[in-house]
Amino acid sequence: MDTLISHEALRAYMERVFEKEGFGREDARVIADVLMQADLFGIESHGAQRMMYYHQNIASGSVDTAAKIETVRETPVSALLDAHFAMGQLAGIRAMNMAIDKAKKTGVGMVCVRNSSHYGIAGYYPLMAAREGLCAFSMTNTGPIMVPTFGREMMLGTNPIAFCMPADPYPFWFDAATTVVTLGKVEVHAKREKAMPEGWTIDGEGEISTDAGKMNASILSGGKGGILPLGGAGETNGGHKGYGLAIMVEALTGVLAQGLVSPQMQGAHGDHTCHFFLAFDPAMFGDPDEIRAGMSRYLQMLRESEKLPGCTRIYTPGEKAFEAQARRIDEGIPVEEKTLMELRKIADALGVEAI
């Protein structure tokens, strides 16, 4: 059973929790904003549902609420930050703001971050840039959950690629793990004791597994097998492409920032993650309004193209998220019973007003 909670109430709850956890008012506000954006966009796995995870990371010290994010290197078009185990959201926002500033001044800004932590939805950050009329990428490595093509050890993270470009009525907003699915989807099937579709996970013997309970437990405990790269097992349907994209993300995050790569991290969600941000100004290439109009026209062509029999809509990336946001602002955000209990437990532990 889900409970509908107004976005204002959920946001206010998150802000008071993060303040009580030890963050300043503004930091608490922006961390909550990243989580709220996920819940508004209908990506529940990265919203309120993650509060307990962050609470535990702060309690265990794996996230340092007092961390000072350090600029290690800087040029007019780039920066390398060391987050010193700050909340990933604070590192991400700092880094993307630097990339945006540089893109406004020089045309391009590229910022890498090491020793960060889980930064929420990758897509939050390029959206910041799109609001300023810029195009942007964001990528992150994570704890290991993906097996290489032909492999049975988890050597790569979820390793999402997010990209955003201004368009109307919504920006083009793409945010996708380079795995077939995120661990969150395996977890949801495990909780509901439902079999997974074929092609999401492979076990240590090389058999495609649909047993969500078994695979979820195995992944969380670091067992053999794991989630397959986008494209699936082997090379027949392009699994090596998803695997290659995931390595590319490791290259641009862990390797370029000289931090940890996924298999060096502890746990499926990972700590000590590294991020990559790139913002650039489309005005370098032409009238930004015309480029924006061109993007909007192309997205419209896609949506209006012929549907398969039985299909009523063709979506473009971001559409579902912005529609969910409009609905959830009106109707409230559905919060699962278990998550609601967790939110109350956190409030109790911290002595702040519950929800």
- Residues 251-290 touching its own copies, rule: CB under 8 A, are 251, 254-258, 261, 263, 280, 282, 284-286, 290
Question: Is residue 192 near its own copies by the rule CB under 8 A?
Answer: no
**Closest to its own copies by CB, 63 or 146:** 146
Number of residues that bind its own copies (CB under 8 A): 83
**Closest to its own copies by CB, 207 or 348:** 207
Nearby residues of 172 by Cβ (< 8 Å), 6 or more positions away: 163, 164, 165, 166, 295, 299, 316, 317, 318
Question: Is residue 3 near its own copies by the rule CB under 8 A?
Answer: no
Question: Is residue 76 near its own copies by the rule CB under 8 A?
Answer: yes
Stretch touching its own copies by CB under 8 A, among 6-14, 50-58, 300-308, 336-344: 300-308
Question: Which residues, 33 to 72, sit near its own copies by CB under 8 A?
Answer: none
The Cα 12–Cα 42 span in angstroms is: 19
Work out how close the CB of 189 gets to its own copies at its nearest, in angstroms, rounded to a whole number: 12
Stretch touching its own copies by CB under 8 A, among 15-23, 59-67, 238-246, 337-345: 238-246
Query: Which of 80, 98, 127, 219 is in the footprint of its own copies by CB under 8 A?
Result: 80
**Among 218, 255, 247, 214, which residue's Cα sits nearest to residue 230?**
247
Full strand arrangement of the beta sheet holding 108-116? 70-75, 78-82, 108-116, 273-280, 135-140, 161-165, 172-176
Work out how close the CB of 12 gets to its own copies at its nearest, in angstroms, rounded to a whole number: 33
Question: Is residue 314 near its own copies by the rule CB under 8 A?
Answer: yes
Instruction: Give the phi and the psi of residue 131 in degrees, each rounded to 5.
Output: -65, -20
Query: Per-residue x/- marks for its own copies, 197-236, CB under 8 A?
Result: x-xx-x--xx-----------------x-----xxx---x
The Cα 287–Cα 280 span in angstroms is: 14
User: 156 pairs with which residues across the strands?
Assistant: 146
The Cα 251–Cα 159 span in angstroms is: 11
Question: Which residues, 91 to 110, sit near its own copies by CB under 8 A?
Answer: 106-108, 110
**Closest to its own copies by CB, 179 or 339:** 179
DSSP H or E stretch at residue 162: strand 161-165
Full strand arrangement of the beta sheet holding 208-209? 208-209, 201-203, 225-227
Work out how close the CB of 64 gets to its own copies at its nearest, in angstroms, rounded to a whole number: 23
Work out how close the CB of 238 gets to its own copies at its nearest, in angstroms, rounded to a whole number: 5
**Closest to its own copies by CB, 304 or 330:** 304
The Cα 134–Cα 295 span in angstroms is: 13
DSSP code per residue over 81-117: EE-TT--HHHHHHHHHHHHHHHHHHHSEEEEEEEEE-
Work out how close the CB of 118 gets to its own copies at its nearest, in angstroms, rounded to a whole number: 21
Work out how close the CB of 119 gets to its own copies at its nearest, in angstroms, rounded to a whole number: 18
Query: Which of 317, 333, 339, 355 is in the footprint of its own copies by CB under 8 A?
Result: 317
DSSP code per residue over 172-217: EEEEE-SBSS-HHHHHHHHHTT-PPPTTSEEETTS-EE--HHHHHH
List C-alpha distances in Å: 219 to 120, 155, 157, 325. 20, 12, 11, 32
Question: Is residue 242 near its own copies by the rule CB under 8 A?
Answer: yes
Question: Which residues, 162 to 181, sit near its own copies by CB under 8 A?
Answer: 163, 165, 172, 174, 176-177, 179-181
DSSP H or E stretch at residue 34: helix 25-40
Query: How many CA atoms lie within 13 Å of 152's alpha carbon, on the beta-carbon side?
Result: 13
The Cα 163–Cα 296 span in angstroms is: 15
**Closest to its own copies by CB, 40 or 279:** 279
Query: Per-residue x/- marks for its own copies, 121-150, CB under 8 A?
Result: --------------x------------xxx
Work out how close the CB of 241 gets to its own copies at its nearest, in angstroms, rounded to a whole number: 4
